[in-house]
Structure 1
């Protein structure tokens, strides 16, 4: 049974829906608005206790400039780029190949291997904290960008494989069979047939994995020490002082740290509406 379209609702229900939607949106955006307003407050206002009132003096440029210069924020930002980009590419590349194999090949242990990928998504990350840290220490990778890259690739590949395997499983298998009959190799089938068809899934995964890795704080705190390999999430936490905290600078740094994820979403959102069989009927 499908939901009833909104235009067929009763008038009272439609009015209530139209009224509640902006209210719910305002409540959802309230924390972000509070952070945004705090980021443009002056330090004097925060000292006086003006946390929720409208700012009397706007310190937009001063706060954001100090947030960038009070700590090595640009260094943290570059570390996040070095960690996130290889992690996204590596996790999606491995998951695409694994998902293709699990979806198209019939071999002994296929279901068991897929079950392992599924089960791995239910392991709490906190359980892995000590063994992963000891592993990086044993391999000499502790406090390095490479350690975070390898961990994020390993941890995100399971979820991406689960997602892509189910997505590829829904593709018309006749396309793969037709390509094989025409003499196409497996790599040709993978790159020329499957990948164009799963473009919407790749775009969605790209945004999700980018957001997960970029916003990671737990593993950045566990596997790094100091400023050498710390990403921007740790850099924002470094804006907190030992005795007092300039919340306007923390808010400004938090918004600067969130900008790449927002930009990534708007850059990739057009792929969400791409047709599933876009490449199958072209020409």
Structure 2
């Protein structure tokens, strides 16, 4: 027979004992000093952007007469007009968007397929394959400029946006595969076993299960890849020759040479070039943070 605990003192016999409720700890109010301390840090981080914005909306005569560091005494959008039309920033911005969209899409698609195969199939030497793909990103790009230029010329795709897309995909797929491989390998095996019992094949499992579960790391990699590819200059200058095919980074470099004294034009072009990456980051901000925290609680 199970032993019955005696009733607590002060209770009548036969009355069931009542367990005392645990007192909830009062929630401590968040200290506002963290936000107060972050205000000067935020202003310090935003100061270069604000400085460039002030220069971009000033006229050339204002900058030449009062100096670059003076407060704006005029408001003019001539710098944006000159940068977008005469400076070729608008055309180069379109080239960058095309290259970035195709390179990010192809890189993540190929990396997802490669990571799924390397993490879920018994491929001979898969660890060596993965490390070899990752090792390509550890090489300094400076020593690969001449080989990359020679290969594109030998293939007949030099001075084309297609060549730039292929180069961006080739040098990014190793890192993306490495990140996605670590995530896909941590997925529970019971999910795959249940899918096989339901009659799903490898392609169906990848499309219906793996890809939906991999949205956080894919979104984080998409944000990073967009920033890297859109802001790239070294591979664009290596592969391309024609000015009409230059991305926006190369156009800004030419803008600094052609409008060396017109700082409002250079500042306006820099602001326009920064808009796409800022938009992408703010669109994928929540997915980016969740993608970076994937696996932190495991």
TM-score of the two chains, using structure 2 as the length reference: 0.82
The aligned counterpart of 2:50 is: 33
Secondary structure of 1:184's aligned partner: coil
Q: Aligned to 1:120, which of 111, 132, 136?
A: 136
Match of 2:72 among 28, 33, 55: 55
Partner residue of 2:263 out of 225, 231, 247:
247
Pairs within 5 Å for 1:64-83: 64-83=80-99
Number of aligned pairs? 265
Q: Measure how far apart 1:117 and its partner are.
A: 2.2
> Which position in structure 1 is the counterpart of 2:8?
none
1:154-165 equivalence runs, <5 A: 154-165=170-181
Do 2:99 and 2:164's aligned partners in 1 also have CA atoms closer than 8 Å?
A: yes
Q: Is the 8 A contact 1:70 1:239 kept in 2?
A: no
**Structure-2 separation of matches of 1:174 and 1:245:** 65
CA 65–120 in structure 1, closer or farther in 2 if over 3 Å, else same:
same
Distance in 2 separating the partners of 1:262 and 1:116 = 33
Aligned to 1:279: none
Q: Which residue of 1 aligns with 2:234?
A: 218
- Displacement after TM superposition at 1:108 (Å): 1.9
Q: 1:85 maps to what in 2?
A: 101
Q: Residue in 2 aligned with 1:4? A: none
What is the Cα-based RMSD across aligned positions, in Å?
2.2
Where structure 2 has 5 or more consecutive residues not aligned to the other structure, the ranges are 1-27, 293-298
- Distance in 1 (CA, whole Å) between partners of 2:252 and 2:131 is 38
Out of 215, 232, 251, the position equivalent to 1:199 is 215
Task: For residue 241 of structure 1, report the CA deviation from its aligned partner.
Answer: 3.9
In 2 relative to 1, CA 205–187 (structure 1 residues): closer, same or farther, beyond 3 Å? same
Give the distance between the partners of 1:73 and 1:269, measured in 2 at CA.
27
Of residues 250, 273, 277 in structure 2, which corresponds to 1:261? 277
Residue 255 of structure 2 aligns to a residue whose secondary structure is: coil
Please identify runs of 4+ aligned residues in structure 1 that moved more than 4 A. 272-276
Contact 2:259 2:265 in 1 (8 A): no
Deviation (angstroms), 1:245: 3.1
Could you tell me which runs of 5 or more consecutive residues in structure 1 were left unpaired when the two chains were aligned. 1-6, 277-283
CA distance in 2: counterparts of 1:272 and 1:224, whole angstroms? 32
- Partner of residue 15, structure 2: none
Change (3 A) 1:275 1:176: farther
Q: 46-55 vs 124-133, which deviates more?
A: 46-55
Corresponding position of 1:3:
none
Q: Which protein has the larger Cα radius of gyration, Structure 1 or Structure 2?
A: 2
Q: Secondary structure at the match of 1:41?
A: coil
Instruction: Indicate conservation of the 8 Å contact 1:37/1:55, yes or no.
Output: yes
Match of residue 164, structure 2, among 148, 152, 172: 148
Q: Quick check: 1:46 aligned with 2:46?
A: no
Stretch of structure 1 that moved more, 19-28 or 129-138:
19-28
Matched, 1:167 2:164: no
Taking the aligned partners of 1:159 and 1:243, their CA distance within structure 2 comes to 38
